[in-house]
Amino acid sequence: MTSSPRKMRLTQALVDKLPTSVEEQGPVRVPTPPPEYYETTATNILDQLGPDDPLWVLAIGSLIWNPRFDVVERRAADVEGWHRAFCIGPDTRRRGNPAQPGRMLSLDAGGACNGIVMRMKTDGRAVALRALLETEPPVPPSWVRAETPQGAVEAIAVKDHPAVQLYEAAPTEDEHGGNKDRDGGKGGS
């Protein structure tokens, strides 16, 4: 007996599970970097590339479905030495709010993870990179080696570590208590 594929439907019950939009952003945990920070960081990254060399960006979370820049190519990728972790937080501005602090996904040392590497369009990439940096935590991206089916590429990635002011070791599943489905802030959930 063959069965037809199950169809997913957006229902009011599913919509009701989404966090409500919260306009209050909560206190700032780290000072906003000076405007030149973004320009300098973008310039430092691009200075490591030739004018026609590709700039790859590793996405492990919301950048996958919301890259915030023109993507020329996407590839599945594996990265050794880093794993995905909710190690930015508690956050009350972007992924949380004062009533329900949330956590943001980043790379933390150790292990391995998979994600998507995306090649940024070469034309206008200085402006696009700066705009991307302004949407990320104020941590200069680092280079990672990403293995793809088409070969290895060097990509920039936001990685956190204990020396970064926003870092907090990721909670265990029991400590997090399933809060991810309740986290919600100005930047989403």
- Average pLDDT score, the chain: 80
The pLDDT score that the predictor gives to residue 92 is 72
Compute and round to an integer the Cα radius of gyration of the chain: 18
User: Is residue 70 over pLDDT 90?
Assistant: yes
**CA distance linking residue 65 with residue 63, whole number of Å:** 6
User: DSSP string of 65-110?
Assistant: T--SS-EEEEEEEEEEEEEEEEEEEEESSSS-BTTB-EEEEEEEEE
The pLDDT score that the predictor gives to residue 182 is 46
